[in-house]
């Protein structure tokens, strides 16, 4: 089964500093990878997705992620953290490009932005 691993449940970052959230995947086939963000009392919102096109993917709110097959990684970054980035972030993988596109999620990273 496909899976992703996110280390460090809580991540603290100073306002204006680099945000780096790590995601490593396990997949026996070329994976499709996603990052979602969840604000309190809200559903998940897609930040960006990798679908075998460009390895550097740009998303919303200034986030980007780079797919590295050799490292089986899909880390999420943002150059300068903003207070509004405080939320929970989930990495997810799908191995099914057609039909049931079910997602397998990591445990998430709770990001705290320190003023």
Partner 1 sequence: DTGVSQNPRHKITKRGQNVTFRCDPISEHNRLYWYRQTLGQGPEFLTYFQNEAQLEKSRLLSDRFSAERPKGSFSTLEIQRTEQGDSAMYLCASSPGGGVGTDTQYFGPGTRLTVL
CB of 17 to partner 1, least distance (A): 25
Residue 68 or 96: the one with the smaller Cβ distance to partner 1 is 96
56 vs 98 by CB, closer to partner 1 = 98
Please give the residue ranges that form the binding site for partner 1 (CB under 8 A).
9, 32, 36, 41-46, 49, 51, 53, 90, 92, 94, 96-108
Task: State how far the alpha carbon of 93 is from the alpha carbons of 4, 39, 74, in Å.
Answer: 7, 20, 10
* Residue with tokens 């930040």, as numbered in its chain: 47
Nearest distance, CB of residue 93 and partner 1, angstroms: 11
DSSP string, 38-76: E-TTS-EEEEEEE-SS-SEEE-GGG-EEEEEGGGTEEEE
């Amino acid at each position: 089964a496909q899976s992703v691993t996110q280390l460090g449940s809580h991540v603290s970052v100073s306002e204006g500093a680099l945000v780096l959230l790590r995601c490593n995947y396990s997949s026996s086939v070329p994976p499709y990878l996603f990052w979602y963000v969840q604000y309190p009392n809200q559903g998940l919102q897609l930040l960006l997705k990798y679908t075998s096109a460009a390895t550097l993917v740009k998303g919303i709110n200034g986030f980007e992620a780079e797919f590295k097959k050799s490292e089986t990684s899909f880390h999420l970054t943002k150059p300068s953290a903003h207070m509004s980035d405080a939320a929970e972030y989930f990495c997810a993988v799908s191995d099914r490009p057609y039909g049931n596109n079910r997602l397998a999620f990591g445990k998430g990273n709770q990001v705290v932005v320190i003023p």
